[in-house]
C-alpha cells in the first residue's frame, strides 16, 4: 500500500524517475491556482534518502524524501537545501490566516478630489503602510533553464497547509494581462480619478492570501511602471508571494526604457523576499528522459512528414459528434482571431497564420486556454531580419508549455536551426551563446553558422524554448498533456 501511495504522489507531480524536471499544471478555462508556505521551526535536513517514522506526509521535505526513495527524483545536497527553504515557508504558513481586506464605501466627491491631490491622505484612508507583523517573508527562486523551478512550485503547491484556503498560482504573463484588464475596468468606472492599483490589489488580496508566480520577468514598460505599487500594496495587505524567475532581481528589466524608475521595485524584491539561486550546474530536465512514442517536432518538410501529421490530426478529430470547424472565431480583447481548422479541443494553424501576424502573449494564452492540442505547420527558418517572428514563436512555445498544451510542429530544419542565420549578417555566436549551446549539447554544425540572438534575455528565451521542446518529447509529457487526447483513450 505504501508503494502505491508513493507512486500516486509521483504521478500527481507528473515526475519521472531520475528527474528534477519542470512541470506546469493545465490551465484550460482559468488561470491555475497554486500556493506557497513558510516555517517558524527550523529542521536540520537529514540525508535525501532518510525519513523519520513520525514524519507528516504532506510537507515539502517529507514528500521530497519519498520521491527520492522511490527513484522518482535523484537526491543531492543542493536540492535538499532548496527544499528546506520551502519547508521553512510551509511551517510559517501553517498558522497564518490574514483577514480579508475590507471594502471601502464609495468615496464622496470631496474625498475623491482630495485623494487625487493628496497622496498621504489616500494612503492613510485606504492602505496599511507596512506588511502585517506576522506575515511570512516570500520567496524569490531564480535559476537557468532546467533547474527545476516549476517542479519546486508544484511541490510547494501540493503540500500547502490546509488552513490556507485562498491561494492562486499563475504564470506571470497571464497575471499581468489580468491586472491590466482590472486596472482598465477601475479607471473606466472611476473616471480616471484616484489610484487604480489600490482597488485591484485589494481584490487580488481577497482572492488569495498566497500568490505564486511562474516565470517572473519584466520586459514591458507598462508592467515595469506599475509593479512596485502593485507588489507593495499586495504585501501591505498581507499577501505572501512566491516567485520563480530566470534572473536575479538586479538583472530584471535590463536596458529597459526608464529603468531608473524600476529600481525601487528591485529594492523591494531584495528586501521583502528571500532571494535564492537554484543553479547547481545540472540540467535536471535532460537527465534520464524517456522518449515519447509521438514527437512534437517533425522535420524536414516532406510527403512522409505531411502524411504523419495528417494521420495524427485525423486520429484526434475523428469523433463525429465533434467535427472539424473551419475558421472558428476566437474573441480576444475586442479582436478576432481566426482558427483555420479546429474541434472543441484540437486546433491547426500554419506558422504564417499564428506567428506571421502581430499577435501577443494574450492571444497565445487564449489559444492554449481553449485548445488542449495545437498543430503548427511549416515553421520557417528565421534570420536576423525576422526576430519578431522568432519572439512570437518562442512566446507561443512558452504558452503551450505553461498550459500543458500538446504541441505538434513541422519545419524544414531541426529546432536548433530555426533561430540561425546563414546570410552573413551576424558576426557569429557570442561567448554567452556558446555557453548556452554547450549546456544544450549543441555544436556550430548542428545550430548553423550563427544564432540570430545576441542579448541575454533573447539567448535565455532560445535556450528555454529548446529545453521545453525536449521535455515535450518525454513519455511523461505525452501522457499528461492535452486534455482531449488523454481522455479519449486513443493511441497515436
Do 339 and 293 share a structural domain? yes
The pLDDT mean for the chain works out to 75
- What's 218's DSSP letter? -
Summarize the confidence of residues 183-189 as an average pLDDT: 89
Rounded Cα gap, residues 336 and 331, in angstroms: 5
126 pLDDT band, cuts 50/70/90, is low
Do 280 and 298 share a structural domain? no
For position 174, which CATH number holds? Answer: 3.40.50.300
Domain limit, last residue, from 262, 284, 306: 284
Residue range 67-85, pLDDT digits in tens = 888 776 777 788 889 999 9
Do 295 and 276 share a structural domain? no
Q: What confidence score (pLDDT) does residue 113 get?
A: 54
Do 298 and 277 share a structural domain? no
Residue range 133-154, pLDDT digits in tens = 999 999 999 987 667 787 888 8
Q: Are 388 and 419 in contact (CB under 8 A)?
A: no
Residue range 297-352, pLDDT digits in tens = 899 999 999 999 999 999 899 888 789 999 999 888 778 899 999 998 999 999 99
pLDDT at 291 over 50: no
Q: What is the percent of the chain where pLDDT is above 90? A: 34
Give me the domain span that covers residue 404: 289-488
Do 248 and 295 share a structural domain? no
Q: What confidence score (pLDDT) does residue 282 get?
A: 58
- Identify which has the larger pLDDT, 480 or 173: 173
pLDDT at 253 over 60: yes
Do 460 and 335 share a structural domain? yes
Look at the chain and report how many structural domains it folds into.
Answer: 2
Do 250 and 325 share a structural domain? no
- The verdict on whether omega for the bond into residue 300 sits within 30 degrees of 0, i.e. cis, is yes
pLDDT at 391 over 80: yes
Rounded Cα gap, residues 169 and 440, in angstroms: 29
C-alpha Rg value of the chain to the nearest Å: 23
Do 321 and 274 share a structural domain? no
Do 256 and 298 share a structural domain? no
Do 334 and 271 share a structural domain? no
Residue 241 sits at the vertex; the CA angle it makes with 178 and 170, to the nearest 5 degrees, is: 35
pLDDT at 108 over 60: no
Rounded Cα gap, residues 379 and 19, in angstroms: 30
Domain limit, last residue, from 236, 257, 284: 284
Domain limit, last residue, from 235, 252, 284: 284
160 Cβ neighbours under 8 A, 6+ residues apart: 35, 36, 37, 90, 93, 167, 210
Do 374 and 334 share a structural domain? yes
Residue range 212-252, pLDDT digits in tens = 998 898 888 888 889 999 999 999 999 999 999 988 999 99
Q: What confidence score (pLDDT) does residue 144 get?
A: 78
Do 109 and 249 share a structural domain? yes
Amino acid at each position: 500500500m505504501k508503494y502505491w501511495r508513493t507512486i500516486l504522489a509521483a504521478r500527481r507531480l507528473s515526475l519521472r524517475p531520475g528527474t528534477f524536471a519542470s512541470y506546469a499544471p493545465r490551465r484550460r478555462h482559468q488561470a491555475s491556482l497554486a500556493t506557497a508556505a513558510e516555517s517558524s521551526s527550523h529542521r536540520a535536513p537529514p540525508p535525501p534518502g532518510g525519513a523519520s517514522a513520525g514524519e507528516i506526509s504532506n510537507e515539502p521535505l517529507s514528500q521530497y524524501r519519498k520521491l527520492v526513495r522511490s527513484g522518482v527524483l535523484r537526491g543531492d545536497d543542493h536540492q535538499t537545501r532548496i527544499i528546506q527553504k520551502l519547508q521553512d515557508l510551509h511551517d510559517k504558513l501553517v498558522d497564518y490566516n490574514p483577514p480579508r481586506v475590507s471594502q471601502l464605501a464609495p468615496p464622496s466627491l470631496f474625498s475623491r478630489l482630495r485623494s487625487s491631490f493628496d497622496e498621504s491622505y489616500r494612503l492613510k484612508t485606504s492602505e496599511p503602510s507596512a506588511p502585517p507583523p506576522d506575515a511570512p517573508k516570500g520567496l524569490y527562486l531564480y535559476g537557468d533553464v532546467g533547474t527545476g523551478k516549476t517542479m519546486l512550485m508544484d511541490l510547494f503547491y501540493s503540500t500547502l497547509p490546509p488552513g490556507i484556503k485562498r491561494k492562486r498560482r499563475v504564470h506571470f504573463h497571464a497575471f499581468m494581462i489580468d491586472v491590466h484588464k482590472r486596472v482598465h475596468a477601475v479607471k473606466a468606472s472611476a473616471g480616471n480619478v484616484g489610484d487604480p492599483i489600490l482597488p485591484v490589489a485589494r481584490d487580488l488580496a481577497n482572492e488569495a492570501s498566497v500568490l505564486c508566480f511562474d516565470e517572473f520577468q519584466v520586459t514591458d514598460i507598462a508592467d515595469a511602471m506599475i509593479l512596485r505599487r502593485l507588489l507593495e500594496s499586495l504585501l501591505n495587505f498581507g499577501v505572501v508571494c512566491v516567485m520563480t524567475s530566470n534572473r536575479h532581481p538586479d538583472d530584471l528589466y535590463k536596458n529597459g526604457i526608464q529603468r531608473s524608475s524600476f529600481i525601487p521595485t528591485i529594492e523591494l524584491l531584495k528586501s521583502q523576499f528571500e532571494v535564492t539561486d537554484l543553479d547547481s550546474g545540472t540540467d535536471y530536465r535532460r537527465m534520464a528522459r524517456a522518449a515519447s512514442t509521438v514527437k512534437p517536432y517533425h522535420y524536414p518538410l516532406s510527403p512522409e512528414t505531411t502524411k504523419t501529421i495528417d494521420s495524427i490530426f485525423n486520429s484526434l478529430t475523428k469523433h463525429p459528434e465533434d467535427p472539424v470547424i473551419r475558421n472558428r472565431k476566437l474573441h480576444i480583447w475586442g479582436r478576432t482571431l481566426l482558427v483555420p481548422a479546429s474541434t472543441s479541443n484540437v486546433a491547426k494553424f500554419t506558422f504564417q497564420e499564428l506567428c506571421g501576424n502581430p499577435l501577443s502573449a494574450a492571444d497565445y494564452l487564449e489559444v492554449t486556454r481553449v485548445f488542449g492540442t495545437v498543430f503548427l505547420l511549416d515553421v520557417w527558418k528565421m534570420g536576423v531580419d525576422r526576430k519578431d517572428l522568432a519572439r512570437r514563436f518562442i512566446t507561443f512555445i512558452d504558452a503551450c508549455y505553461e498550459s500543458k498544451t500538446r504541441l505538434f510542429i513541422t519545419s524544414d530544419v531541426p529546432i536548433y536551426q530555426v533561430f540561425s542565420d546563414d546570410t552573413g549578417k551576424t558576426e557569429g555566436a557570442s561567448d554567452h551563446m556558446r555557453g548556452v549551446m554547450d549546456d544544450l549539447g549543441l555544436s556550430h554544425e548542428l545550430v548553423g553558422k550563427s544564432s540570430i540572438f545576441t542579448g541575454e534575455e533573447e539567448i535565455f528565451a532560445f535556450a528555454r524554448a529548446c529545453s521545453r521542446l525536449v521535455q515535450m518529447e518525454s513519455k511523461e509529457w505525452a501522457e499528461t498533456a492535452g486534455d482531449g487526447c488523454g481522455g479519449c483513450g486513443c493511441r497515436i
